Amino acid sequence: MVLHSLSAAPGSNAYRDCLQLLGKGDALLLLADGVYAALADTQAYLDILNSGAELYLLQPDAAAAGILNDTGERITPVDFDAFAELTERFVKQQAWY
C-alpha cells in the first residue's frame, strides 16, 4: 500500500515507470507537471484510472496549469493539508520524477 506521487508529464519515463507499479490499494497524487495525467478523455488518465489506485490531484498545481475544469471525474482535488494527511495514511511513499 504505497502513496505514489508523480511530478512529470504523461510522455515521460517517470509516468511510464509509475504506471507499471500502480495497483489496487495504492494511491496516486498528481503534482507539478504530473497534473496533466488528470485530463479527462486522455489515455494517460484512463490508464491511471484502470490501475485501481485512489487518484488525487494537487489543486494549486492543477489551477496553475489551467486544467481544473477539465479533469476526470474519478480524481479528487486536494490542498496541502489533505496532501499531508495522505502521507500520514500511507507509510510507504514513492516519488516519480
C-alpha cell read off for 47? 490508464
In this chain, which of 63, 64, 84, 95 binds other proteins, going by CB under 8 A?
95
In this chain, which of 36, 45, 56, 96 binds other proteins, going by CB under 8 A?
96
| Nearer Cβ to other proteins (2/65) | 2
Q: How many CB atoms lie within 10 A of CB 51?
A: 19
| 3-state SS, residue 51 | coil
Residue 92 binds to other proteins (criterion: CB under 8 A): yes
Residue 44 binds to other proteins (criterion: CB under 8 A): no
DSSP per position, 65-87: HT-GGGB-TT-EEE-HHHHHHHH
In this chain, which of 11, 13, 64, 74 binds other proteins, going by CB under 8 A?
13
The rounded distance, in Å, linking the Cα atoms of 97 and 94 is 10
Residues near other proteins (CB under 8 A) are 1-2, 13-14, 16-17, 20-21, 23, 92-96
